[in-house]
Amino acid sequence: MTPSFSQDDVFPIIRRIITAIYREKRDFVTHDEIVAALLNDPSGHREVILAQKVRTNETEERVAANMVAWFSQRITVGASVDQNSFERKKIRGKWAYRPRQKLV
């Protein structure tokens, strides 16, 4: 199966989104918040639209959720540059994130 998106293109957007939401709420950023922000972010939405051209039977929300799930999976298996960048905990059965380094 051909990948529908480039992790190298999408993961930096997800990192930026987590950091931006954390700056505002000062708490863990949930999977659903990341998905919604990815869809509302111009660069993120563009990546979702491109991926949806490959995954034609899926909604934009499902494609964005898949991107966030892959971001989580790469950290879980220890194959991510974000391994030490974020603290994680499960909220409602899905990984939530906050930066390890406290932002001012």
Tell the residue number behind the tokens 């000062």, with chain if given: 26
Domain boundaries, given as residue ranges, for the chain? 7-99
Task: Supply the pTM of this predicted model.
Answer: 0.91
- The set of residues, in sequence order, having a beta carbon less than 8 Å from that of 13 and lying 6+ positions away, is 38, 41, 43, 44, 47
Low-confidence ranges of the chain (pLDDT < 50): none
pLDDT at 1: 57
pLDDT at 82: 74
pLDDT at 85: 87
